[in-house]
């Protein structure tokens, strides 16, 4: 097996590598060579995502081509009518996204598979919608979601419009791993172009279906003023149009409305970070707006900020905004009789338990999955095929949610509609969002759910992160700051241990460790599937916010010492 430096040399002398990439390769330091070639870029929780540039551990022409060849072979193996039904492809605003889209379409055509593409960038949820709209056998989304500007990625979708779950993607990975080296792949001939560009009819159909999720569409919209930003991404056109057609009074952050792969006018395109809201808050202050809605670059997630009773603007976490939306939707559906008696809330093991507590109040059971909305999308499809249960709501702590299963992925356009309606509904009652959330906390307990991320860049970082996880498995923790751990669940081994029993978990294998404390609090460690970092999730509930925050800080400090 050749090492990173030998791979680097192969790329440096290959006639298939462009001169511009060869210049980049020639300038690489020893460490940069290791990072770019020490492994092949892999599929993880959200497909294949990485830094742009030459190398086997990078996103480039060769890695995209190889992934698409593998996907083509996978589809041809699985579907006898794959060539006719075809694959839908969309992309975001990132560097080379359009070029990678055209490349993927061309590769599929080489295998005789029809490709559907859009005339320009479109949101991830519309790609999921397109798979279903055109009865395709799969889909491809070229995106790196909220990652920094140097990233891009490749997500694959099944025939239901959901991202591939592990038992599906395992076969795809096998096929890709059996392919020739990146530089040796040859496409089958003859090449016959068979790529269809969608007309505006699909946009119209998608928007009309999104509008149908409204619960109280007749509410007056005179009081609510909204500020909206797509963070230079795919939500610009459809998001603005949707809010306008629904009659909301809103202003857009003009500097962030144009597609820009460099994200020039935002500190970060990630709605999980404060920098994504700076310009929106500045505009909200000028416009006296009560609500700020920010979509991430591929428009599958929405960040929410609001003006509170203290006249200051506050950002909601994904756990908070999701819980509020669950309360609004379920309570209003319960009121108007549209809440199914056999419905489900789908969420993840790292998302706050608050949403499930709210759902239980309305007789809605919750099902928990591993991180990755593909599991939720797959569960919706399986429930439909098996005659139930019905879908009530799906969400993750990272700002992604789904209200209607017209798509099988997170949908920022649906979220825009429902967050605006929710804020407007409560405003009509004289309530601001901080007051609404306080009422929810008073009823269900004060929750402090915090996520810390520690970056582990490059090969050395990966080794350090793996070593930390190995230590925790070799010497299991028994307590955190004197608080007894009553249950440890290792999703990699699939074993859940407590004093009373040891049993297997029903979820797929994943590199995640969860600790349940005797206080009911929870700490979870999960290496990111898309970035070189490890995430630490702290979920604390107490009778007051001060108690919850104080307990969280104590547990967090103690746990940080245990994991160093």
DSSP per residue, 217-281 = TTS--SS-EEEEE-TTSTTHHHHHHHHHHTT-EEEE-GGGSS--TT-TT-S-S-TTSGGGGHHHH
Contact 380, 391 (CB under 8 A): yes
**Cα distance between residue 513 and residue 7, in whole Å:** 35
- Residue 368 has phi, psi (to 5 degrees) of -105, 140
320-412 placed in CATH 3.40.120.10: yes
Domain ranges of the chain: 39-199, 209-318, 320-412, 445-562
| pTM beyond cutoff 0.85 | yes
In 266-389 the beta strands, taken as DSSP E runs, fall at 291-295, 302-307, 313-315, 343-348, 365-369
List Cα–Cα distances, 89 to 137, 188, 261, in angstroms.
12, 21, 19
Domain 209-318 has CATH 3.40.120.10: yes
pLDDT of residue 1: 62
CA-based nearest residue to 408, from 170, 131, 30? 131
Q: Look at residues 328, 300, 280 and name the one whose alpha carbon lies nearest to residue 239.
A: 300
Matching CATH number, 39-199, of 3.40.1190.20, 3.40.50.12160, 3.40.50.11540, 3.40.120.10: 3.40.120.10
Q: Which of 145, 229, 352, 528 is catalytic?
A: 145
Specify the DSSP element, H or E, that contains 85. Answer: helix 82-85
Query: Is the domain 445-562 a CATH 3.30.310.50 member?
Result: yes
The predicted structure's pLDDT at residue 531: 67
Residue 46's pLDDT is 64
Tokens 């707006």, residue? 289
Is 145 part of the annotated catalytic residue set? Answer: yes
Same CATH topology for 39-199 and 445-562: the answer is no
392 burial level (CB within 10 Å; 0-12, 13-18, 19+): buried
pLDDT tens by residue, the chain, 564 residues: 689 999 999 999 999 999 999 999 999 999 999 999 999 998 776 689 999 999 999 999 999 999 999 999 999 999 999 999 999 999 999 999 999 999 999 999 999 999 999 999 999 999 999 999 999 999 999 999 988 999 999 999 999 999 999 989 999 999 999 999 999 999 999 999 999 999 999 999 999 999 999 999 999 999 999 999 999 999 999 999 999 999 999 999 999 999 999 999 999 999 999 999 999 999 999 999 999 999 999 999 999 999 999 999 999 999 999 999 999 999 999 999 999 989 999 999 999 999 999 999 999 999 999 999 999 999 999 999 999 999 999 999 999 999 999 999 999 999 999 999 999 999 999 999 999 999 999 999 999 999 998 888 877 888 888 899 999 999 999 999 999 999 999 999 999 999 889 999 999 999 999 999 999 999 999 987 666 789 999 999 999 999 999 999 999 999 988 887
Whole-angstrom distance, CA of residue 521 vs CA of residue 555: 9
Can you read off the two tokens belonging to residue 177? Answer: 């791993």
């Amino acid at each position: 097996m050749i090492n990173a430096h030998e791979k680097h040399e192969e790329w440096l002398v290959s006639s298939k590598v462009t001169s511009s990439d060869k210049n980049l390769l020639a300038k690489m330091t020893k460490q940069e060579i290791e990072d770019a070639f020490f492994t092949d870029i892999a599929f993880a929780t959200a497909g294949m995502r990485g830094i742009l540039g030459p190398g086997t551990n990078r996103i480039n022409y060769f890695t995209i081509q190889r992934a698409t060849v593998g996907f083509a072979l996978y589809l041809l193996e699985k579907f006898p009518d794959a060539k006719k039904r075809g694959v839908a492809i969309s992309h975001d605003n990132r560097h080379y996204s359009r070029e990678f889209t055209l490349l993927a379409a061309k590769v599929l055509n080489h295998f005789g598979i029809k490709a559907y593409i859009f005339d320009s960038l479109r949101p991830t949820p519309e790609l999921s919608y397109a798979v279903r709209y055109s009865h395709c056998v799969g889909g491809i989304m070229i995106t790196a979601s909220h990652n920094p500007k140097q990233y891009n990625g490749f997500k694959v979708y099944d025939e239901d419009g959901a991202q591939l779950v592990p038992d599906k993607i395992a076969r795809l990975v096998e096929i890709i791993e059996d392919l020739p080296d990146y530089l040796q792949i040859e496409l089958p001939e003859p090449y016959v172009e068979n790529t269809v560009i969608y007309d505006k009819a699909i946009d119209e159909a998608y928007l009309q279906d999104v509008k149908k999720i409204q619960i109280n569409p007749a509410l007056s919209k005179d009081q609510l003023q909204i500020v909206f930003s797509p963070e230079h991404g795919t939500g610009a056109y459809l998001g603005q149009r949707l809010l306008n057609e629904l009659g909301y009074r809103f202003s857009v952050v003009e500097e962030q409305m144009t597609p820009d792969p460099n994200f020039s006018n935002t500190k970060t395109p990630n709605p999980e970070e404060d920098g994504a809201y700076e310009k929106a808050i500045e505009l909200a202050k000028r416009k006296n707006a009560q609500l700020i809605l920010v979509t991430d670059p591929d428009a599958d997630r929405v960040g929410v900020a609001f003006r509170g009773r203290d006249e200051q603007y506050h950002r909601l976490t994904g756990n908070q905004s999701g819980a509020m939306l669950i309360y609004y939707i379920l309570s209003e559906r319960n009121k108007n009789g549209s809440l199914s008696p056999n419905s489900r809330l789908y969420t993840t093991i790292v998302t706050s338990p608050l949403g499930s507590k709210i759902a239980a109040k309305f007789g809605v059971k919750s099902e928990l999955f591993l991180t990755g909305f593909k599991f939720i999308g797959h569960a919706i499809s399986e429930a439909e095929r098996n005659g139930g249960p019905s879908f009530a709501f799906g969400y993750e702590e990272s700002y992604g949610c789904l209200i209607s299963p017209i798509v099988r992925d997170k949908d920022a356009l649906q979220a825009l509609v429902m967050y605006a309606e929710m804020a407007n509904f409560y405003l009509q009652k004289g309530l601001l969002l901080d007051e609404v959330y306080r009422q929810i906390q008073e009823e269900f307990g004060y929750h402090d759910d915090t996520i810390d991320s520690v970056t582990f860049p490059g090969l050395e970082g990966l080794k350090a992160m793996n070593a930390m996880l190995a230590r925790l498995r070799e010497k299991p923790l028994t307590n955190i700051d004197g608080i007894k751990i009553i249950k440890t669940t290792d999703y990699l081994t699939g074993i859940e241990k407590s004093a009373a029993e040891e049993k297997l978990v029903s979820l797929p294998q994943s590199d995640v460790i969860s600790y349940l404390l005797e206080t009911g609090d929870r700490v979870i460690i999960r290496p990111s599937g898309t970035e070189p970092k490890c995430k630490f999730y702290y979920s604390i509930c107490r009778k007051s916010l001060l108690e919850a925050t104080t307990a969280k800080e104590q547990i967090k400090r103690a746990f940080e010492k245990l994991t160093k």
